[in-house]
Structures are given as structure tokens and as C-alpha cells.
Structure 1
Amino acid sequence: MSVILTRDTPFEATVPLLVVGGGACGLTAALAARDEGVEVVVLERDPLPQGSTSMSLGALCASGSAEQKRHGVDDGEERFFQDVMAKTHGTADPLLARVVGAESGPALDWLAERHGVELVLETGWTPAFGHSVMRMHVTPGRTGADLMERLVAACERAGADILTDAHVTALYADGERVTGVRLQRPDGSTEDIGCDALVLASCGFGGNHQMVAENIPSMAHARYFGWEGNQGDAILWGKALGAGLGDMDAYQGLGLLADPQGIDVNPRLLIEGGVQVNQQGERFGHELEDVSGAGARVIAQPGGVAWVIYDDRIHQNCKELPQYKVLSGLGGIRSAPDIEGLAAQAGIDPAGLARTMAEVAGFVASGAQDGFGRAFPGPALASPFYAARVTGALFHTQGGLLVDENAQVRRVNGGLLPNLYAGGGAARSIGGPGPSGYLPGAGLCMAVTLGRLAGRAAGRAVKG
């Protein structure tokens, strides 16, 4: 991926604003730009806008939304900021944490009220994994694919053009100012399009094995459960233009990828009282403390697999979740009337699993915390029992370009690149370094929040 430095480029066409990437971030940026009255074209490399958003559970955290207020949830910028800093042990970018805390709720309200993209509070996601209050929002379809369909429809209504099969391979720049892009079509032909401002929204570098090995060596050989098109293009372009990078070893890991079905298992199975065990039937961590770091912990277990153990109460509460229904249909859920039968079906050591379940029941009865610091408020798990086999994986990277409060890209030595903006996986997130500062729903939260900020700021700059 390259940056072509030149003063004079005979562009075949020029538009005020280009957005590279047609995921949640890029489409949200396009909507915000259209609200400013600016013509915008989204360039998507694939035949359809999908990307990492479509592979996700479609859940995003947000603070201070109208949906939270409607459910009596007291949340806002300061509480969100404190949760982020506590989860990351003070290593997150404080400016970005405050901006997201202040702007995420209003961004969701704007999507719903202005553009008809309905997002409701997911009350099944009780506070866990670092969130001190209910913050998870979903579309009525409760999948990332449903969210994408609604964003695409909103862009069509708003008059934002989405150009698919348009793989951007290079940026044109006059010094630090971006002047346009070169894109390649499936037949190998190329087109050069000029612009007054550019938003980079092409996600991270999880599909670029070399970049993963260089920046996240611990996950170099882990399974990648993400969009293969996430090649780190935006980060490399920004770096070539002099942009600063942050937290390049940060990533969202998964410890709940159904094996071998490759389906993202909803953490509600754990939030509502389930536990995770290895082949010996032993628990190996606090299941509600570090949803992202659990990926590496599961990979470290014998065979690189683990099982989520839960009961019929939890099964009934989760059975209508879209991914759970698919997993059940594929035979990925085992059940038995007793622990011994479940262990036999799953291939878990029966004595170890029985011992673990007895210990968990004891913690429920006593109200005491276990050795990992987890409390079990109950009710106790009861027959019949269920199990889902999972493995660990890398979902998407969280490091990237440094941006300011308007999602404008910052130089490595201070200041701002004049007309370049970034969001979603292309920009540094709020999880600090490594995997363990990640808050559930933060990936899509950053996509939508920074997408809106980038599109709005770029649109105003173009007009100004």
C-alpha cells in the first residue's frame, strides 16, 4: 500500500469527501457528512458492504443514550470515563475516553431519530466485563448483519453514494494534504478520484499476518475470526503521511468462538451464571473480568479448547439469540440430565467437572468470592445441564492512528494532518495496550462514535 506524492494529478472525477471502508464507521461518517450537506462517496473493496461489523454480535456500548434513560440507567461521560480508566489501569487515551463517553450516546440517538437506525438497550447484558451499568445496545435483529442492512438503507435514503468492488490501493498527497485515491476494480483496471477530505474507515490489520506478527506476536499463530480484508491499509497510509500510532499491540480476543462451528457465542451464557472449564473440568479464570484476554487463556488450555457450562434457565433465556439458534441447529449445544452425562458427551473429565460444579454451588450458597475474585449471586445451576465447546481467536485489532476529539488524524510529532480523518479499527481505540482493557461493545462504539465525528468534522471543513 502506497502514498503517491505529487502536486498535479489528472483525476477522472473529484468529490468533496471520500470515505474508505463501507463498514459501520464508514457508513456512519457518510451519514454525518450528508447532514452537513456535503456530497460523499464511500469506497468499499468488497461486492457488498459487510466487513467485521457483519461478523459481530452487532452490540455496541454507549453512555448517556435516550434508551438508557428510558430504562432508568444513570450513565454519562464521567462514569464511562472512570470505567475505561479502571479497566485499562489508566493506560487509555484520556481525551479519547472522555470524547467517546460524551458522544457515544448522542450518536446512537442521532442514528435512531435522524436516520431511522433503531438501537435498543439490551437488558440481558447486565453490568459485567468492566461496565458498571447496562450499556449494550443492539438493533432489533440483534446481529451485525442487521445493523449493516439498516446503515446501508439509511445511506440510500440520505443520498450517500456507496461504490462497491472499489479496492483503494494508494493515496495521492501533496505534502501532508491528501488529494485523492487510486482504486482497483475486479478486472484489474484502475481509477483515480480526487477529494477535498478523506475519512479512513477500513478497520484494522487482523487479516495482515505480517503486521499481526510484528505488533501482536502472542497472537501470530492464533485463529483469526475476522474479515480477511482487514489488511491495515489505513494505518500504513497514515504512517507514511507522518501520522502517529498508538497501542499497536492492542486487540480484541475471543474466548467464546464455537469449535468447530466458528460462531461467536454470546457472553450472556456466562453473565447469567455459566462457567468455563477445560478438558479436566477445571475453571481457569474469572469469566466476567476480561472478555478479550480470555482468548489467549482458552488457547493456553489443553487442546486449545474449553467448554461453557450452564443450565436450562440460561438456555431458555438465550435460545432466541440469533447466533445461539444457529449453533443449536448445527449440533453445537450438548445437554444431559446430570453432570456425569454431560461430561461423557463433551469429553470432559467427569470427576473434575463434578468437583468444579460443587465448588460453584458452594459459592452461590455462601455468597463468597472464589479464588479468581468472582462472586456468584445465583440462582445455582440446576439440572438439566448444557455445554458449548469453544476455542480462542483474534477478532480484530484495536491499535491504530492517533486522532483528536474530531477524529482528525494527529501527526507523530504533534499537530494535525490537514484533511485526513479516521475512525473504527483504523484509529486507536480506548482499550489501552494489549487485550485486557477491552470493554464489550467498544469496537462498534468506536466505529459509530468516531465515524459520526469524522464525517461531521470533514464535512464542515470541506464547506469551510
Structure 2
Amino acid sequence: MASFDDMPTIEGADAEIISADEVDWVVETDVLIGGGGGTGLVAGLAAAENDELTVTVVEKSDSFGGNTSLSTGMIPAAGTRFQRAASIEERPEDMARDILEKNGYTTDENRVLHLCRESASLIHWLVDDWNIDLHLVDDFKYPKHSEYRMHAPPGRNGDNLITQLVERAEATENIELLTNSPLRKLVADDGSVVGAIAGKRHTEAIKADAVILATDGFAGNRRMVKNHCEEIADALYFGSDGNTGDGIRWGAQLGGELSCMDAYQAHATVAHQTGSLSTYAVVMNGGILVNEEGRRFGDETKGYSAFAVDVLEQPDGLGYEVFDADIFERLEGEFDDFDEAARLGAYASAGDVASLAEELGCDPERTAVAVERYNEAVMAGDPDEVGRTDGRSTLEAPFYGAKITGALFHTQGGLTVDEHARVVRTDGSVVENLYAGGGAAAGISGHGPSGYLSGNGLTTALGYGRLAGIHVSETL
């Protein structure tokens, strides 16, 4: 987790697009992918299935992963065989409806439906063609998910997903992976992308028939966040340092249309003292949040992104998460994030609510009353005092809790793309040879933080990555 004080402050720079007649090509590849997170690695695998193509993935940092490695690695999909094996029959239209209802139908419905219709194929392709270890999560649902549809790697940890993707890419003969090699500029010829400048201390001009922007969003660029997502600009940043909006700016300079630039994914339960993530499975298994005064301040199941803003509006931007031993034992060993937070000492425990609250620093008497009222509502089957009805269970001694705050994870606005993940201009034409996915592309969460449905990030990261890779493998 980083402070915005350490982040770049310059939103744009001149000459990020240069003309082909200004460069001398040093390296040549068929497919150049900028960024080695989930989008870039999946795009690389998909493109490399055409063994006549050479695929080069250049990553800005010294390791692969990006925001995917910081996520739970859970990929939502509808209509998979893993769901059917669990007697779950779900259509892509059902998944699309959940996404659209969450964002109030403020994003392109056809684009959402297209990604949902491709989601089962994505999962089956990862598992069957690339031997990626995924399992259906059927012990809890994230807020506003109408069905079990999350497919997770071991430990429900994105870093474990990235490790598998990197291993598969390294074992693929026509894929080259390079770290410490950021894209610097795109090279264009009469509006068509023909390559890029890449490198850290020494730069090289790389000629390519297709360039895929997997450079993620702009959550690590302080000026861009302030310009587009001002309400979250002063929050902690819990994302990859490489998310500086480069690909978005380059695409825009080539006439690419920008969409939903105010959209972002935040998280409501980052442990304040340790800087570790307290998985929202704590809440969805029955945990609640109170403020310093020991009062509930909203329905926690509105979603961890939207609720982060509510947390930040509390005194000192803090909340206090309260749950019990049953939830602790249920999550222990299931979520690497939860185990890491516990190992770092994020969670306090006590035999009664008042003692726990005193240790955490919130009002003991009012916190105890809040838990009592919550339990009464659960037992009566009625909405509780904040209107919550989902993911509830009575909380019983012994109790656990954590002091938490809200944080910015990643942005959800970016370049508009078509069904093949090609960058679309404001006039409706495509930027020839240029693709985008993940945070570089406009997401499916509408505007602000409230439209984010858990899994939307990996839906566009891995979904668009595969679609881009398939298209270049079939057309080059």
C-alpha cells in the first residue's frame, strides 16, 4: 500500500505518440503487449496459440502481476461446467443483469453481455488449454451476486493466479517476457500503430504488427485521480505502482474515446494498522461495521467499493469491523489475504463486545448495543437498523474485530473498445493495430464507486485480454 505523496503528479506529457519516420527500428515482433498483469499475460497466451506469431510482453516493474496479483484472483463466469457440477444453472444474461443493476444501467449493455457470454469460455480455456487451477467458490457470495459464479485460484489469491500464468507463458516457445521494460511511447504511421518505444535506462524502437495496451488504469497517478475521481483522491492507495494512466493517454492522443473516467474500485476494509486487506468475506459471512461512536453507518452489503466512501466519511476516516470466532474459523485457511492480515496482527479478540470495542478504540457500550440489535433483527428475520438483509448471521462470543479504513484499489474508466478489444475513436472508427484491456479500457461499472460489482475488474482484464489475443492470432 502506498501514499499518494509517492505517486507521479504529471497527467500527460508531450510527444507520447511519435511518427514512424522518426525512429530506427531495433527489434521486431508480431504482437507487442505493454504490461504483464492479468490482461497482458492472458492476451499473450491467446495470441501465442498461433505458433507462427512472435509475442513480446514488456512489463514496467521488476515483476509480473499488476493489480491482478493484488486481487483475490476470483474470476466471475456464468454457465461453466463447474457451476453445473454444483447443480447451478446460470445464463450469461443473469450475470449481465447483476452487473447492470449494480451500475444502474449506466454502461454499454451490449459490451457487458458480450463479456458475460464469453466468460464461461474464458474459464474453460484457462483450465483445459492452459492447466490453470481454478475452483468454484460456493461458500459465500459477494454483495449483489445472485448466484455462485466466482472461480478462484488456490488460496483465493491473485498472486497465485499470476504465478500460474507466468509459468505457462515462460513455457511457451513463441512468448518472450521482459521486466523492467516500460513502454515509453507509441509509434504511429498515418494514425495506425506500428510499434512502440520501450525500455528503462536504454530505450529501443520495437516494430510490431499489433500493440495491446495492458498498462492498467491511472490510480497511481495523483493528478489524474484528482482530476477524475476527486472524492477518493486523499485515500490510501492499495494498488500497483505502475498504474499511471500511460495507455489511456496514448490511446486518447490517437483519437480514442474515453468513457466513465470517474469510475473506480475502492475497498472498505483495509486494516488501518497493518495495511493489509481484511477480505470482505468477513462482512458477507455476517460481520458488521461501526464507527468510533459505536454506531452502524450503513448497509455494508451495498458493496465494498461503494461502502469505502461511507467509511472515509466517518471520524478520522475509520471504521471498526466486528465479527465472531465462527466467521474467523470459517475463513482461516481459505483466503490468503485473511491469513496474512491475521498473521500481521490486524485482528483483536475478546470474550465480549464491550471489551473488544475498548481494545479497538470505539465506544464499548454503543458497540455492544449495535451487535445486540443486529442479532435481534437476524433472529427475527427482519431488516436491521441500517436496512441490511443479506449475508447475515448472529454474532456470538468470543468476538474478533479490526480497525479499518477505505482505500483506492484501481480505476475503472478508460478507452472505449469494441468486441475484439480494439480501441475505438470518438468518430466510431478503430485505431488500427491497437487494442486495450483491463484498466486501460473502460470498465463495466458505470460511474463512481457504487457501480462496481465484485469481479468486474478481472472480467475486463482477463476477458478483454483473451479477446484481443484471439483477434490478433486470427488476423495477423
The 1:139–1:377 alpha-carbon spacing in structure 2 relative to 1, beyond 3 Å, is closer
Equivalence for 2:446: 432
CA distance in 2, matches of 1:377, 1:416: 44
Equivalence for 1:408: 422
Q: What aligned pairs does 1:210-221 form with structure 2 within 5 A after superposition?
A: 210-221=223-234
| Contact preservation (8 Å) 2:216, 2:440 | yes
Equivalence for 2:219: 206
RMSD between superposed Cα atoms in Å: 1.4
Name which of 60, 72, 77 aligns with 1:62. Answer: 77
Deviations 1:140-196 (A, max 9, x none): 2321111110000111222221111111110100122111111123xx211111000
Equivalence for 1:156: 170
| Contact preservation (8 Å) 1:57, 1:144 | yes
Residues 328-337 or 235-244, more deviating: 328-337
**What is the one-letter code of the residue matched to 1:313?**
D
Matched, 1:243 2:251: no
Name which of 48, 65, 86 aligns with 1:34. Answer: 48
CA distance in 2, matches of 1:267, 1:377: 11
SS at match of 2:378: helix
CA distance in 2, matches of 1:10, 1:354: 70
Matched, 1:117 2:132: yes
Equivalence for 1:286: 299
SS at match of 1:141: helix
TM-score by length of 1: 0.96
Name which of 49, 56, 69 aligns with 2:64. Answer: 49
| Contact preservation (8 Å) 1:168, 1:182 | yes
Deviations 1:282-316 (A, max 9, x none): 11111112221111111111111111111111011
How many residue pairs match? The answer is: 459
Unaligned runs of 5+ in 1: none
Q: What aligned pairs does 1:270-285 form with structure 2 within 5 A after superposition?
A: 270-285=283-298
| Contact preservation (8 Å) 2:20, 2:194 | no
SS at match of 1:362: helix
Report how far residue 378 of structure 1 moved. Answer: 5.1
Matched, 1:90 2:105: yes
| Contact preservation (8 Å) 2:274, 2:345 | no
| Contact preservation (8 Å) 1:281, 1:352 | yes
Equivalence for 2:194: 179
Name which of 358, 361, 365 aligns with 2:372. Answer: 358
Equivalence for 1:375: 389
SS at match of 1:292: helix
CA distance in 2, matches of 1:340, 1:364: 20
SS at match of 1:288: helix
SS at match of 1:158: coil
Percent of counterpart pairs with the same letter?
37
**What is the one-letter code of the residue matched to 2:435?**
Y
| Contact preservation (8 Å) 2:285, 2:393 | no
TM-score by length of 2: 0.94
CA distance in 1, matches of 2:292, 2:139: 29
Name which of 343, 349, 358 aligns with 1:335. Answer: 349
Report how far residue 327 of structure 1 moved. Answer: 1.5
Report how far residue 77 of structure 1 moved. Answer: 1.5
**What is the one-letter code of the residue matched to 1:327?**
A
**What is the one-letter code of the residue matched to 1:406?**
H
Equivalence for 2:7: none
SS at match of 2:29: strand
The 1:340–1:454 alpha-carbon spacing in structure 2 relative to 1, beyond 3 Å, is same
The 1:345–1:246 alpha-carbon spacing in structure 2 relative to 1, beyond 3 Å, is same
| Contact preservation (8 Å) 1:367, 1:377 | no
